[in-house]
Amino acid sequence: MSHWSVVPIVLPAFLASFIILAARHHVAIQRVVSVGGTAVLLLLSVALAWEASDGTVTLYRLGDWAAPFGIVLVADRLSTLMLVLTCALALPVLLYAVGSGWDARGKHFHALFQFQLMGILGAFLTGDLFNLFVFFEVLLIASYGLMIHAGGTARLRAGTQYVLYNLLGSTLFLFAMGALYAETGTLNMADLAGRVALIGPEGTAGIRVAAVLLLLVFAVKAALVPLHFWLPSSYAEAPAPVAALFAIMTKVGAYSIIRVFTLIFPPGLEATAGLHGAWLLPLALVSVAVGMVGVLAARRLDRLVAFAVIGSMGMVMTAISLFTAAGISAALYYVVHSTLAAGALFLVVDLVAGGRGQDDTAADVVPRAGATRTAALFFAAAIAMVGLPPLSGFIGKLLILDAAFGRPGAVWVWAVVLGTSLVAMVGFARAGSAVFWRGRAVRAADVPADPGAPVEAEAPAADPRPAPPALGFAAVGMLVALLVLHTAFAGPITAYADAVSRQLLTPTRYVATVLETPGRLWDPAAARVPTEGDR
Amino acid sequence: MELLVASGIGVLTAAGLYLVLRLRTFPVILGTSLLTYAVNVFLFASGRLVVGAPPILGDAARYTDPLPQALVLTAIVISFGMTAVVVMIALGAFLHADDDRVDDPAPEDAP
């Protein structure tokens, strides 16, 4: 049994502990350890993805216990794709945090960052539903700390909301898990897939309840309307690198929906018939509309990006809710795209705010040296986010439209996707021109204090940051470059996404690998081997 | 006994939800605690209710399902830690803002 697939969880845990115990007062050591560790994680996840790319499902049995009884980690194409995406986002974000000095504003930024990576990577790798809950909690606890990193009234208030909302979500998750366990007697996903399929039409009530609860929980994580209320202020108030890392957290919800609703409750399952298309698609389309209208209505750049995240999650969920091979592969392409684009946008917003020194209402714009570079980066990221050609958002939306073609509700999908693209374009164009063009005519000394702006006790002006950091620019540039690569290699990437969705929709190999790999329980020396009939 | 446990879960959940909807940090935190109690009992009951049997898969003819107990244990630890975290953050927010409302205070950034 190769031990590589557990390293993405163990390595950040060790690094975080090391940072807390040995390097809590030494920012330089923290930076080296944290950046180095994340780079190693990126290489490792690429290697794992390479291993999984031919369809191999790698199983890791924790404590060598066999599957339905012990917890297992499963690395298949989808998991490793998400691993690579996480690390590819985390590395530039971390570099940005180092370059802009965000990480030095509190003692525990790097430790929390590593713990958050551990939670995210673990959630992608685990093959057990309860373990998924535990990793959700790990990533949430770390995100609470990161969210209120560097303090401030607004951040603490938004943090309280964020924690409470997620606490309720966790409670719901446990209810769902209890219902599922009561019905099937297992929480291993591969085992659940088999047992749920065996349940006859007379026993579907409990399973339907469990499926709906699970969908609700993951929809909270994915910020699907009407469960999106936590997102705008949380993301807008969080420190920029944290918000950029959070771009992957909504995707954890999308990943969980893809995983659970292709493996445990596949579209053809009688017990949950009607759940997939009938409910998910309208909600996803409403999410797109709400997000893009929010983009138009937002008066601050950070809230604008937060609403763009809601819109792009709606777009992902639209593609997922088709539950066809084409739909899921379009969703995967868009997941990669929107994660990178949202991360880049959050960082650019911080560059804008840092360049101005004052807060980020579009009204008081004072561009400084380097605003041209910032404007170019904002322009590129906004083009990608809105879905204009030539960047990957355009290709992603084309794939989604193509997947919806000929399906019931296709008219709505086309109308909403195309209509909201226009709305979002107007929103971004307005914000961009207000921030980068109108400000040209104004000199810093001429700008009066805006009487309408909320007075903050600890305005960012109190700690004026130095000129835009070169490393910060490089980090955002990395993300934009990744977007360009994502566009240039759209052909191979969509081919890979097709392979992923084929593997997801025919999970026989996944189930067989998880359940039929012998572990310690199958040791012939054991006194009694529990069998299926024991329940 | 099933009726008693089920009603207990129901009452706890209802009380918890009511408190969560109060939108002041202290009642909301109490409400989430009640909800976690409810969910712990629910998880415990999900392995069927058996009285006086050991949670060990052994030679005994009757046994109670051991797995929910492990699940509840994990859930208790996690919810306990979460409650501590939310108390600290809510306290910090209250001391900073002098206000304990959970929702956004005012329509932000009027034009």
Integer Cα distance of A413 and A16 in angstroms: 44
A172, pLDDT greater than 60? yes
pLDDT value, residue A1: 65
Torsion of the alpha carbons at A353, A243, A258 and A495, rounded to the nearest 10: 50
As a whole number, the mean pLDDT across chain A is 84
Mean pLDDT of chain B: 85
3-state SS assignment for residue B101: strand
pLDDT band at B104 (very low <50, low <70, confident <90, very high): low
Region of A406 on the Ramachandran plot (φ > 0 left; ψ -120 to 50 alpha; else beta): left
* Percentage of chain A lying above the pLDDT 70 cut: 88
Indicate the residue of A130, A151, A299 with minimum beta-carbon distance to B109.
A299
Rounded Cα–Cα distance for residues A21 and A2 (Å): 30
Contact A170 B45 (CB under 8 A): no
Q: What is the average per-residue pLDDT within A243-260?
A: 91
Are the beta carbons of A137 and B82 separated by less than 8 Å? yes
At A535 the pLDDT is 46
A370: left (phi over 0), alpha (psi -120 to 50) or beta: left
Chain B touched by A171 (CB under 8 Å): yes
Q: Please report the pLDDT score of residue A39 as a whole number.
A: 95
Report yes or no for ipTM above 0.95: no
Each residue's pLDDT tens digit, A411-424: 889 999 999 999 99
Using the predicted structure, report yes or no on whether residue A401 has a pLDDT greater than 60.
yes
- Closest CA relative to residue A33, chosen from A89, A85, A94, A118: A94
User: In which band, very low, low, confident or very high, does the pLDDT at A362 lie, cut at 50, 70 and 90?
Assistant: very low
Tell me the sheet residues that pair with A361: A300
Global confidence as pTM? 0.88
Which residues lie below 8 Å from residue A31, measured CB to CB, with a gap of 6+?
A98, A103, A110
* Chain A residues whose beta carbon lies within 8 Å of the beta carbon of residue B80: none
Q: Is A159 on the interface with B (CB under 8 A)?
A: yes
Mean pLDDT, residues A193-221? 86
- Comparing A517 with A35, the larger pLDDT belongs to A35
Joined tokens for residue A503: 């593997």
Assess contact for A72 and A188: CB atoms under 8 A: yes
Q: What is the Cα–Cα distance from A124 to A45, expressed in whole angstroms? A: 12
Phi then psi for residue B100, to 5 deg, are -115, 25
What confidence score (pLDDT) does residue B31 get? 93
Peptide bond into B66 cis (omega under 30): no
The one-letter code for the residue type at A70 is G
**Helix A410-436 and helix A392-404, axial crossing angle in degrees, nearest 10:** 160
What is the pLDDT, as a whole number, of residue A104? 85
Cβ-defined contact of A134 to B47 (cutoff 8 Å): no
